[in-house]
Structure 1
Amino acid sequence: MRLNQNTLLLGKKVVLVPYTSEHVPRYHEWMKSEELQRLTASEPLTLEQEYAMQHSWREDQDKCTFIVLDAEKWQAQPGTTEESCMAGDVNLFLTDLQDPTLGEIEVMIAEPSCRGRGFGTEAVLMMMSYGLTKFEAKIGQENEPSIRMFQKLHFEQVAVSSIFQEVTLRLTVSQAERQWLLEQTSHMEEQLYREGSAEPC
């Protein structure tokens, strides 16, 4: 989505950067994993298809995608490539044309060494602070860590699909929830991402 193409979000554990073509090779390697394909209900793509997908996501007005970087690695050495710090991705889809305040949120911490360290939780909180008031997450029934994580973030289960073997969790952000969310993300900084980036438009 062009909305976030120049936005970098800096947290304590993770840094969120727009998904660019330089991230595609690492992302493509992750998605060869049968486990990740199963957990994300994804089909394997060729590298060329992955580049095409990245480009379409960038142009899509209904999708906001960030790559999740390990903040510690990213800040450790100036000049460290983003690809070497990649941990996963977090996405927000506007799924209901009648309700622009509702977004479906997804997070994937693909790098095994980055799991269980709170990266997914912080990435979701940072994405939620982006301003919508209703969020939905659809998660495979067997993906218990993700279900528990969203429940800790105050999401409640509203539906189960036996056909797709997934559960739907939802959160409506009340004034109290908004205050809680602001407290959880008060450390987050929004910065300009790569002024003058050569990423094609």
Structure 2
Amino acid sequence: MRINEFTAVSTSRVLLVPYEARHVLTYHAWMEDPAIQEATASERLTLEEEYENQQSWRTAHDKLTFIVCHPLSSTPLIFSEKGSLSVLAGEVDSPDRMVGDINFFLYPYDSDGSDNSTDDDGLCGEVDIMIANPNDRGKGVGRAAALAFLHYIFSHLPLILNEYHTPNDHQKENIRPDSKGGSRLKQLMVKIKADNTHSINLFKSLGFQQDGEVNYFGEVKLTLTEFDAFREENVVPEGYVELVYQQQPPN
């Protein structure tokens, strides 16, 4: 998606930046690890294919992606040409500061025929998160990234849904609040390997509930439908601020 193309999300625990070509070499190195391939149900790609994926994900109307980085800490902010607080691409997200990625996939909601009903106006949003470096796991980074990411999604949901329906135009003035045909987010969902108890417990702590048994691929599905309750129970992450992700220094 393009909605976050120039946006960085900063909290006291984590920094999220849009996935750009500068990140591909590090991302590709992560994905060379067989353990990460298995955990993320991913196939090994060539570096060229990884660059193609990055470009595809940037323009896709149904996938929102951020790279997870270490928090800004003492990194100075700058002012963009329009006077907004900004961070400089390539500095706050250098390879040594990159931690993983977090994604949001949108597609039509499928009730699996459980209630013999159809929901032509419903969407499912699948979330996945990957913390690549083992040294960064078990320290609350994944939870901090998930909270910041979900807060961003709920804060910009009309724009996100509008881009899903009108992939070539995501500007605010073109939001269609009364649009039909998949305009409602009905469910959030994660699929996690059954032996990844840390990630399962993370999402359960956020209010996700297990839906069914372990599937054929050894995954557990967890879902969240009570969005209002989630937002009431999970306050705005400490230090949350949206910054301009500035590609080049001001003139």
Q: TM-score, normalised by structure 1?
A: 0.88
Structure 1 Cα separation of the partners of residues 230 and 130 of structure 2: 24
Q: How many residues align?
A: 194
Label 1:80 to 1:179 Cα distance change in 2 as closer, same or farther (>3 A): closer
Q: 1:185 to 1:29 in 2, by over 3 A?
A: same
Contact 1:68 1:123 in 2 (8 A): yes
User: Which residue among 104, 116, 119 is the counterpart of 2:126?
Assistant: 104
Distance between the aligned counterparts of 1:85 and 1:135, measured in 2?
A: 29
Q: 1:174 to 1:54 in 2, by over 3 A?
A: closer
1:13 alignment counterpart: 13
**3-state secondary structure, aligned to 2:108:** coil
Q: Does 1:91 align with 2:103?
A: yes
| Equivalent position of 1:175 in the other structure | 228
Calculate percent identity across the aligned residue pairs. 39
Partner of residue 145, structure 2: 123
Partner-residue secondary structure (3-state), 1:142: coil
> Do the aligned partners of residues 172 and 80 (structure 1) sit closer, same or farther apart at CA in structure 2, a change above 3 Å counting?
closer
Match of 1:141 among 194, 198, 206: 194
- CA distance in 2 between counterparts of 1:80 and 1:6 reads 14
Q: Is it true that 1:187 corresponds to 2:199 in the alignment?
A: no
What amino acid is aligned across from residue 126 of structure 2 in structure 1? E
Deviation at 1:159, TM superposition (A): 2.3
Question: How many angstroms does 1:171 deviate by?
Answer: 0.9
Q: Is the 8 A contact 1:6 1:192 kept in 2?
A: yes
- C-alpha separation between the residues in 2 aligned to 1:80 and 1:90? 17
Q: In the alignment, what sits opposite 1:166?
A: 219
> Could you tell me how far 1:81 is from its partner in structure 2?
5.0
Structure 1 residues 171 and 43: alpha-carbon distance in aligned structure 2, compared to 1, 3 A threshold: same
| Separation in structure 1 between the aligned mates of residue 4 and residue 92 of structure 2, nearest angstrom | 22
Distance 2:92 2:231 in 1: 35
Secondary structure in 2 aligned to 1:3? coil
Unaligned runs of 5+ in 1: none
- Name the amino acid aligned to 1:59: T
1: CA distance between counterparts of 2:248 and 2:93?
A: 17
